[in-house]
Amino acid sequence: MLGTAVAPGLRPDMAADEENAPAAPVRTITDLARLAGVSAGTVSRALAGNSLVNDQTRERIQALAREHGFRLNQMASRLRRQKTGVIGVVIPLGHDRRQQISDTFFMTLLGFLADELTEKGYDLMLRRVIPDRDKDWLDRFIGSGMVDGVLVIGQSDQFERIEEAADGYLPMVVWGNHQEGQRHCVVGTDNRLGGKLAAERLIAGGARRIAFLGDTAAIEFAARHAGAAEVAARLGATVEVLPTHLAPDSSAAEVADHVAVRGQDFDAIFAASDAIAVYALRELGKRGIRVPDQVRLIGFDDLPIAAQTVPALTTIRQDILGGAKAMVDLLLRRLAGEETESLVLPPRLILRDTA
Amino acid sequence: MLGTAVAPGLRPDMAADEENAPAAPVRTITDLARLAGVSAGTVSRALAGNSLVNDQTRERIQALAREHGFRLNQMASRLRRQKTGVIGVVIPLGHDRRQQISDTFFMTLLGFLADELTEKGYDLMLRRVIPDRDKDWLDRFIGSGMVDGVLVIGQSDQFERIEEAADGYLPMVVWGNHQEGQRHCVVGTDNRLGGKLAAERLIAGGARRIAFLGDTAAIEFAARHAGAAEVAARLGATVEVLPTHLAPDSSAAEVADHVAVRGQDFDAIFAASDAIAVYALRELGKRGIRVPDQVRLIGFDDLPIAAQTVPALTTIRQDILGGAKAMVDLLLRRLAGEETESLVLPPRLILRDTA
DNA sequence: GGAGAGGTTGCAAACGATTGCAAGATTCCT
DNA sequence: AGGAATCTTGCAATCGTTTGCAACCTCTCC
Domains of chain B: 3-72 (1.10.260), 86-190+321-346 (3.40.50.2300), 191-317 (3.40.50.2300)
**How far apart, in whole angstroms, are the C-alpha atoms of residue B211 and residue B223?**
15
pLDDT for B341 beyond 80: yes
Q: What is the pLDDT of residues B69-109, one digit of tens each?
A: 888 998 899 999 988 889 999 988 765 544 554 577 888 89
B343 phi/psi in degrees, rounded to 5:
-130, 125
| CB of B45 nearer than 7 A to strand C | yes
Report the chain B residue with the minimal C-alpha distance to residue A79.
Answer: B75
Tens digits of pLDDT across chain A (355 residues): 333 333 333 333 444 444 444 556 788 999 999 999 999 999 999 998 876 888 888 999 999 999 898 889 988 999 999 888 899 999 887 655 445 545 778 888 988 898 899 888 899 999 888 887 777 888 888 877 788 999 999 887 788 889 999 988 889 999 999 988 899 999 999 999 999 999 999 999 999 999 999 988 888 899 999 999 999 999 999 999 999 987 767 788 899 899 888 878 899 999 999 989 989 998 898 888 998 999 999 999 998 778 878 789 999 999 999 999 999 999 999 998 889 999 999 999 999 999 9
pLDDT of residue B329: 96
The larger pLDDT score, comparing residue B304 to residue B151, is at: B151
B41 CA, D10 C1': separation in Å? 8
**Residue (of A260, A265, A300, A311) closest to A283 by Cα position:** A260
CA geometry: angle B116, B122, B127, nearest 5 deg: 90
Contact B123 A123 (CB under 8 A): no
DSSP assignment string, A174-200: EES---TT-SS-EEEE-HHHHHHHHHH
B124 contacts B86 by C-beta, under 8 angstroms:
yes
Cis peptide before B292 (omega within 30 of 0): yes
pLDDT of residue A174: 96
Specify which residue's alpha carbon is closest to the C1' of nucleotide D14. Answer: B80
Cis peptide before A92 (omega within 30 of 0): no
| CB of B201 nearer than 7 A to strand C | no
B139 contacts B75 by C-beta, under 8 angstroms:
no
pLDDT of residue A248: 67
Helix (H, G, I), strand (E, B) or coil at A36: helix
Helix H or strand E encompassing B337: none
pLDDT for B313 beyond 90: yes
DSSP assignment string, B23-67: -----SHHHHHHHHTS-HHHHHHHHH-SSSS-HHHHHHHHHHHHH
**CB-closest option in A115, A146, A282 to B308:** A282
pLDDT of residue A196: 98
pLDDT, mean of residues B146-158: 88
A325 contacts A116 by C-beta, under 8 angstroms:
yes
Contact A111 B107 (CB under 8 A): yes
Contact B144 A79 (CB under 8 A): no
Q: What is the pLDDT of residues A64-86, one digit of tens each?
A: 999 898 889 988 999 999 888 89
**How far apart, in whole angstroms, are the C-alpha atoms of residue B346 and residue B185?**
17
The minimum CA-CA distance between A235 and chain B, rounded to whole Å, is: 34
The larger pLDDT score, comparing residue A111 to residue B144, is at: A111
pLDDT of residue B132: 79
The minimum CA-CA distance between A122 and chain B, rounded to whole Å, is: 9
> Strands of B149-153's sheet, edge to edge?
A343-345, A186-189, A172-175, A149-153, A86-92, A123-129, B123-129, B86-92, B149-153, B172-175, B186-189, B343-345
**CB-closest option in B115, B129, B282 to A101:** B115
Q: What is the pLDDT of residues B10-24, one digit of tens each?
A: 333 444 444 444 556
Which residues does chain B have within 8 Å of residue A118's beta carbon, measured at their own beta carbons?
127-129
Phi-psi region of A176 (alpha: psi -120 to 50; beta: other; left: phi over 0): left
**How far apart, in whole angstroms, are the C-alpha atoms of residue B200 and residue B68?**
66
Report the chain B residue with the minimal C-alpha distance to residue A276.
Answer: B308
Average pLDDT, chain B: 86
pLDDT of residue A352: 96
Torsion of CA A31, A36, A37, A40, to 10 degrees: -50
The larger pLDDT score, comparing residue B98 to residue B224, is at: B224
B244 contacts B254 by C-beta, under 8 angstroms:
yes
Closest-lying nucleotide for B42 based on CA to C1': D9
pLDDT, mean of residues B138-162: 86
**How far apart, in whole angstroms, are the C-alpha atoms of residue A345 and residue A323?**
8
